[in-house]
Amino acid sequence: MRLKILLLIVIVSGTFVLAQNQSRNVITLSDNWKFTKGDVQGAEKADFVTKGWQTVSVPHDWAIYGPFDKEVDKQTVRIVQNQEKEATEKTGRTGSLPHIGVGWYRTTFDLPELEKGKKVLLQFDGAMSNARVFVNGNEVGCRPYGYSYFYFDISQHLVPGKNTLAVRLENPGKASRWYPGAGIYRKVQLIVKDEVCFQHWGTFVTTPYVDGGVAKVNIKSKVNGKDLSIKTIIKDAAGKIIAEKVSSERYGDEVEQNIAVKNPELWSPDTPVLYSVEMQLYQNNELKDVQVIPFGIRTISYGPDKGFELNGKTTKFKGVCLHHDLGPLGAAVNIAALKRQLTILKDMGCNAIRSAHNMPSHEQLELCDEMGFLFLAESFDEWAKPKVKNGYNLYFNEWAEKDVINLVRATRNHPCIVMWSSGNEVPDQHGSIGVKRAKWLQDIFHREDPTRPVTVGMDQVNAVMKSGFGAIMDIPGLNYRVHLYEEAYERFPQGFLLGSETASTVSSRGVYKFPVEIAKGKQYADGQCSSYDFEYCSWSNLPDDDFVLQDDKDWVIGEFVWTGFDYLGEPTPYDTYWPSRSSYFGICDLAGLPKDRYYLYRSRWNTKEETLHILPHWNWEGREGETTPVFVYTSYSKAELFINGKSQGIQSKSDESKQHRYRLMWMDVKYEPGTVKVVAYDKDGNPAAEKEIKTAGKPHHLELVADREMIKADGNDLSFVTVSVVDEDGNICPTASHQLSFKVSGKGTYRAACNGDATSLEMFHMPTMKAFSGKLVVLVQSQKEAGDIKLKVSAKGLQSEEIVIKSL
């Protein structure tokens, strides 16, 4: 047998050389793209000259560089989902960033003359939106949905040597309910392989039987060609071969294999163990194609009484919803930013992610596989009935099935995915037509993947109980409407419910309002929300309302909180207030800094580590003697509060109210400067932990803390540096708002900054920004050369500070 090179990944600035006898070749087209905003006649032609165009790298989001402008996508609209009675002018609904319009991208790549029997696929992970793709001046295809993965066979349009790829994108106004981003915001790849091959996204790996000492790995592979055989090698996490099989039995275009793995290590959030399957395709003993697919061995099931079971154990979803933008990076995918988000959530005790309301990036799914997160992969925010004039409703009838097929086939081998969602709060929930659409979509998911259930985020609960819409879903997902949970449980046949979207509590990091009271839709002159976590929206509720259902009802199988992080756009309750251009829903702010609410969730979800958190801050000049309630979020059930050494009494969690059940609250504390101390007691009444905060003095200097002090010298990796304004003793100054300046030198560049203030109009990419509630975050990016990177942060009247990041 003549052996060939099995797999080669080449990333060389748009150039790749196809070595003789290679079975497959993959190139990521990342560098040296040319970009311009605005429609340009003839830009698709191969000989077009890009004079004056920007040079950019992909992934790229053209709109994140701003500026913020209240006139961008200003909409006069009644948001039905928010139970609004009349239309009002919304200025920040889609982030007030210039995402509307046409953008052109062009790049070139070198390719030798294709050998007979070879073909080339061009794959996009996401392009926003209405993509038209041209190769050497020929239009090879289009895709309207900006969140969809898609690919084209471009073999017939290629020439030996230099080839030109051009992409036209167009974002209309009134097409989104949040900031969609703009541009080629996910990766682009070329795949060169034999015409005798594994079909693209045509292999499905499942583990339908796991019992004690053995697991059955089922592999279904769709192939092109005749007289084929497949050699399959399964490797463990260390790369050791643990099973092999050769198969040639074929039915139609599919080869199915069942392979035993002895003593399997099961994938779960606590043990995210990954195996890999290497598949070699032979035609008459000649190697034609190779693919390597990571997978996990695990079982899932849903049902009455047991709820959701992972590997035979009842598991509740402790989940958050995430929009696709990465704050100051916009929609452009970045692995370091995604991993930072997941690391922060993991520490909170979160075990699940819902990609709301769009198809997730491959990078996010890969990280969830590796780090251990359950995943609810969502597809659409609209079906045929519109929420916004130019939304997906324009494309649903023609494209929905194609988009679902690509979603499932491209991602179904990820063990993290345990559920699909075919939609979110779609207006189609009403009436028989909506029921038929829901059934049609669910059947497509089932056809493409019979192993996972399907849900829809339903907010029109009375309507879906009446129409039968909720009864046909595999998983009845309720968005809010906690007052209808009991009735829905009684009326739906499934025997369980999922909180597919919960809470929508609003807060601004480090901002506290008085008097402290539970309030719905409250607004203040500064455009901020109180971080006492007592404020919510007209349609939503407080976290404690969901906690009770999660804890007391076995038939509630978990929740996905809206949202894990703030996101650009949808600045409820300030969507008619300017300036306000990002959300207040996040458990963490837009910079990724935890709000107080983070510790409320952590006190319930992180069962392995203690939580003890005090709020508010203790700098209230002018409030001396006034009532200033103190809350403590803790994993302990009892604690004692001291103000300047004087006990304010012991509080215990109780059933007095939903809030008393999950929070310790001293409502009558009078403010006096000094020290706030809390001592938590264990179940035997012994002191177990303590924490204190102090009234800070005058701002004196800066403190810099990096999330990672060593990063990769790949030109994409990031270190997130938290900058705090502190007094002479190192206490954070919680009301500081100094204008800070940033300078990066050495083997790195300044990428962006973010302070988490939803009303800030400062641009993320400029090397200066005000601190908000005493903090902000600076993003430092590596270059493609190793060495030290130095970040210097300075501000008028403060001692400057430096930090060194190593790039390896």
Provide the percentage of residues in the chain whose pLDDT is more than 90: 95
Residue 1 lies in a domain: no
Residue 721 belongs to domain with CATH number: 2.60.40.10
Q: Are residue 753 and residue 644 in the same domain, yes or no?
A: no
CA distance 570 to 592: 18
The per-residue pLDDT for 655 is 95
Tens digits of residue pLDDT in 12-44: 333 333 433 468 999 999 999 999 999 999 999
Helix (H) / strand (E) containing 215? strand 214-224
CA distance 504 to 135: 45
> Residue 11: pLDDT above 60?
no
Residue 190 lies in a domain: yes
Residue 684 lies in a domain: yes
> Residue 474: pLDDT above 50?
yes
Task: Read off the pLDDT of each residue in 431-449 and give the average, rounded to a whole number.
Answer: 97
> Residue 629: pLDDT above 80?
yes
Tens digits of residue pLDDT in 699-714: 999 999 999 999 999 9
> Residue 9: pLDDT above 50?
no
User: Does residue 590 contact residue 64 with C-beta atoms inside 8 Å?
Assistant: no
Which of residues 171, 194, 217 is at a domain's end?
194
Residue 263 lies in a domain: yes
Burial of 463 (0-12, 13-18, 19+ CB in 10 A): middle
Task: Read off the pLDDT of each residue in 634-657 and give the average, rounded to a whole number.
Answer: 97
Residue 19 belongs to domain with CATH number: 2.60.120.260
Task: Read off the pLDDT of each residue in 321-339 and give the average, rounded to a whole number.
Answer: 98
Q: Are residue 654 and residue 708 in the same domain, yes or no?
A: no
Long-range CB contacts (within 8 A, 24+) of 82-88: 82/537, 82/538, 82/539, 82/572, 83/538, 83/539, 88/575, 88/576
Lowest mean pLDDT among 3-17, 328-342, 638-652: 3-17
501 is catalytic: yes
Task: Read off the pLDDT of each residue in 783-807 and give the average, rounded to a whole number.
Answer: 97
Geometric angle at alpha carbon 519, from 518 and 524, rounded to 5°: 125
Q: Are residue 690 and residue 708 in the same domain, yes or no?
A: no
The per-residue pLDDT for 419 is 98
Q: Are residue 270 and residue 361 in the same domain, yes or no?
A: no
Token pair of 532, please? Answer: 């006492």
Q: Are residue 563 and residue 491 in the same domain, yes or no?
A: yes
Tens digits of residue pLDDT in 303-316: 998 999 999 999 99
Tens digits of residue pLDDT in 577-599: 999 999 999 999 999 999 999 99
User: Does residue 662 contact residue 675 with C-beta atoms inside 8 Å?
Assistant: no
Q: Are residue 148 and residue 221 in the same domain, yes or no?
A: no
The sign one gets for the Cα dihedral 473, 475, 480, 483 is positive
What value does the mean pLDDT of the chain take?
95
Which of residues 150, 179, 194 is at a domain's end?
194
The per-residue pLDDT for 22 is 65
Task: Read off the pLDDT of each residue in 133-137 and give the average, rounded to a whole number.
Answer: 98
* CA neighbours closer than 13 Å in the CB half-sphere of residue 801: 17
Task: Read off the pLDDT of each residue in 100-124 and give the average, rounded to a whole number.
Answer: 95
Residue 443 belongs to domain with CATH number: 3.20.20.80
- Look at residue 344 and give its three-state secondary structure: helix
Burial of 189 (0-12, 13-18, 19+ CB in 10 A): middle
The per-residue pLDDT for 19 is 38
Residue 84 lies in a domain: no
Residue 498 lies in a domain: yes
Provide the percentage of residues in the chain whose pLDDT is more than 70: 97
Cα 806 to Cα 29, 341, 789: the distances in Å are 27, 21, 6
Confidence of residue 191 (pLDDT cuts 50, 70, 90): very high
Geometric angle at alpha carbon 265, from 260 and 268, rounded to 5°: 120
Q: Are residue 223 and residue 162 in the same domain, yes or no?
A: no
Q: Are residue 708 and residue 618 in the same domain, yes or no?
A: no
Lowest mean pLDDT among 18-32, 343-357, 523-537, 590-604: 18-32
Tens digits of residue pLDDT in 60-104: 999 999 999 999 999 888 887 777 888 888 899 999 999 999 999
Q: Are residue 38 and residue 174 in the same domain, yes or no?
A: yes
**Of 378, 501, 570, 640, which one is the catalytic site residue?**
501
User: Does residue 758 contact residue 590 with C-beta atoms inside 8 Å?
Assistant: yes
- Look at residue 216 and give its three-state secondary structure: strand
Helix (H) / strand (E) containing 771? none
In this structure, the chain runs to a length of 808
**Of 378, 382, 425, 640, which one is the catalytic site residue?**
425
Tens digits of residue pLDDT in 731-773: 999 999 999 999 999 999 999 999 999 999 999 999 999 999 9
Lowest mean pLDDT among 74-78, 102-106, 172-176, 485-489: 74-78
The sign one gets for the Cα dihedral 154, 365, 590, 705 is negative
Q: Are residue 711 and residue 562 in the same domain, yes or no?
A: no
Residue 521 lies in a domain: no
Domain count, the chain: 5
User: Does residue 413 contact residue 453 with C-beta atoms inside 8 Å?
Assistant: no
Nearest to 733 by CA among 744, 745, 725, 741: 725
Q: Are residue 544 and residue 452 in the same domain, yes or no?
A: yes
CA distance 505 to 544: 10
Domain range for residue 235? Answer: 199-295
User: Does residue 312 contact residue 299 with C-beta atoms inside 8 Å?
Assistant: yes
Lowest mean pLDDT among 22-26, 107-111, 629-633, 655-659: 22-26
Q: Are residue 682 and residue 734 in the same domain, yes or no?
A: no
Residue 588 lies in a domain: no
Which of residues 694, 711, 741 is at a domain's end?
694
